[in-house]
């Protein structure tokens, strides 16, 4: 109980714990990335054998995510608990197997580090809340999917489908977006890539992506809502195109060698989770020419969209006031302009209905302490 209290009270304790936990999960993700495709392949083989009526394969040794213990692929040396500490063991062993000195892939500590750092960031960002638990699950799933797709070109249903349901369930309580937006997001995410796939296939006779990609975007839509789908698709295509061209030029990657799309979708989904709202807001502001960049633009009428954006923004009012007031005291031009804008916004706010608690996006940890 004292430990739980400490997690609630101190952000430093929470973040350190999240990093450590994230490292351990990263270690487990390595196992999932390595074994899940093999487990699925065995299942498919067994099912094919059963259907074709051929003799069932000899009962293989049990192989799942827990047993057997991890072993060196070179010499079969069983990895001891002491050699299985995330990152630390890799450094201590100098990146080599303790028995045969064969090099261990740098991928293992990299996956652990990504998972640890991201978990720490999520804990800092959301504080102890349902949103934190959800964001952690989402991030871990994205890491696993990205690396599995890189290795094998699969995006296993065993991850994408439960991920989509989990996103819908989390949003029953409007954790990341409202349920309506989540349901539409799941359907639209699937259909968006499904249509691209068919247009591409009818036009060129080739398959540009797989059904796993549709399910992954459906899951992202279920977690983040349909409003994040354009951004996710745009980001993933952009990164995919850049890396694809880079590979073609640098590594003389053939034009017809397939490049998995899942990793880009996963990265784009994470960017959309963390910064999507800010990016969408900037974009809307740009479109409406409402970004105050200099003196002349500051007094522009503040229209409906500004109020809308204010409602969408995750900032608490008290935080906003504190900033503008502090800025007004400093007396610079920008600050005075900001304070002026703040006064207008405050007047507007008093006229408009305050959003109910359940309509507001989750606050960040430090804002919750302010409130």
Question: Closest separation between CB of residue 72 and Zn ion, Å?
Answer: 3
List interacting residues with Zn ion (CB under 5 A): 72, 74-75, 77, 97, 99-100, 102
Q: Considering the complex, state which of residue 109 and residue 134 has its C-beta at the smaller distance from Zn ion.
A: 109
35 φ/ψ angles, rounded to the nearest 5 degrees:
-95, -35
- Start-to-end Cα distance in the chain: 25
Question: Closest separation between CB of residue 26 and Zn ion, Å?
Answer: 22
Question: Closest separation between CB of residue 96 and Zn ion, Å?
Answer: 8
Q: Considering the complex, state which of residue 78 and residue 180 has its C-beta at the smaller distance from Zn ion.
A: 78
Question: Closest separation between CB of residue 71 and Zn ion, Å?
Answer: 8
Question: Closest separation between CB of residue 95 and Zn ion, Å?
Answer: 12
Q: Considering the complex, state which of residue 103 and residue 246 has its C-beta at the smaller distance from Zn ion.
A: 103
Q: Contact 213/269 with Cβ under 8 angstroms? A: no
Q: Considering the complex, state which of residue 70 and residue 307 has its C-beta at the smaller distance from Zn ion.
A: 70
Q: Considering the complex, state which of residue 31 and residue 99 has its C-beta at the smaller distance from Zn ion.
A: 99
188: helix, coil or strand?
A: helix
Question: Closest separation between CB of residue 108 and Zn ion, Å?
Answer: 14
| Four-CA torsion 55, 60, 63, 67, nearest 10 degrees | 150
Q: Considering the complex, state which of residue 73 and residue 303 has its C-beta at the smaller distance from Zn ion.
A: 73
Structure tokens at 317: 């009012």
Q: Considering the complex, state which of residue 14 and residue 72 has its C-beta at the smaller distance from Zn ion.
A: 72
Question: Closest separation between CB of residue 69 and Zn ion, Å?
Answer: 14
Q: At what angle do helices 229-250 and 211-224 cross, to 10 degrees?
A: 140
Quick one: which of 226, 232, 225 has its CA closest to 262?
232
Q: Considering the complex, state which of residue 100 and residue 187 has its C-beta at the smaller distance from Zn ion.
A: 100
Question: Closest separation between CB of residue 84 and Zn ion, Å?
Answer: 14
How many CB atoms sit inside 10 A of residue 177's CB?
A: 23
Quick one: which of 187, 255, 179, 244 has its CA closest to 221?
187
Q: Contact 234/242 with Cβ under 8 angstroms? A: no
DSSP-H helix ranges across the chain: 2-9, 11-52, 88-92, 107-126, 130-152, 157-170, 179-204, 211-224, 229-250, 262-287, 295-298, 304-312, 317-330, 333-351, 365-370
């Amino acid at each position: 109980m004292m430990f739980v209290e400490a997690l609630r009270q101190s952000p430093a304790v929470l973040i350190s714990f999240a990093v450590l936990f994230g490292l351990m999960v990263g270690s487990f993700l390595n196992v999932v990335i390595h074994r899940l495709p093999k487990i699925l392949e065995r299942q498919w083989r067994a099912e094919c054998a059963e259907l074709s009526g051929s003799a069932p394969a000899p009962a293989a040794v049990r192989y799942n995510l827990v047993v057997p213990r991890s072993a060196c692929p070179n010499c079969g040396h069983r990895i001891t608990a002491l050699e299985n500490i995330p990152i630390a063991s890799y450094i201590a062993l100098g990146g080599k197997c303790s028995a045969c000195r064969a090099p261990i892939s740098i991928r293992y500590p990299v996956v652990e580090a990504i998972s640890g750092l991201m978990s720490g960031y999520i804990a800092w960002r959301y504080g102890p809340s349902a949103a934190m638990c959800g964001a952690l699950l989402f991030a871990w799933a994205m890491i696993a999917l990205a690396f599995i797709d890189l290795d094998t070109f699969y995006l296993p249903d065993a991850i994408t489908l439960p991920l989509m349901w989990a996103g819908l369930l989390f949003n029953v309580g409007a954790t990341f977006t409202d349920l309506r937006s989540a349901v539409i997001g799941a359907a639209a995410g699937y259909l968006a890539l499904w249509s691209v796939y068919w247009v591409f296939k009818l036009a060129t006779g080739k398959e540009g992506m797989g059904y796993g990609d549709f399910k992954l975007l459906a899951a992202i839509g279920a977690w983040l809502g349909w409003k994040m789908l354009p951004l996710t698709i745009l980001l993933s295509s952009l990164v995919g195109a850049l890396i694809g061209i880079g590979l073609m030029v640098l590594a003389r990657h053939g034009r017809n060698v397939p490049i998995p799309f899942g990793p880009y979708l996963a990265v784009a989904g994470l960017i959309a989770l963390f910064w999507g709202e800010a990016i969408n807001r900037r974009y809307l502001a740009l479109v409406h020419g409402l970004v105050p960049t200099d003196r002349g633009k500051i007094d522009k009428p503040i229209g409906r969209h500004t109020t809308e954006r204010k409602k969408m923004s995750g900032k608490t009012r008290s935080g906003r006031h504190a900033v503008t007031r502090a800025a007004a005291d400093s007396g610079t031009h920008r600050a005075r302009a900001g304070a002026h804008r703040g006064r207008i916004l405050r007047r507007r706010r008093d006229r408009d209905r305050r959003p109910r608690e359940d309509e507001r996006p989750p606050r960040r940890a430090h804002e919750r302490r302010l409130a």
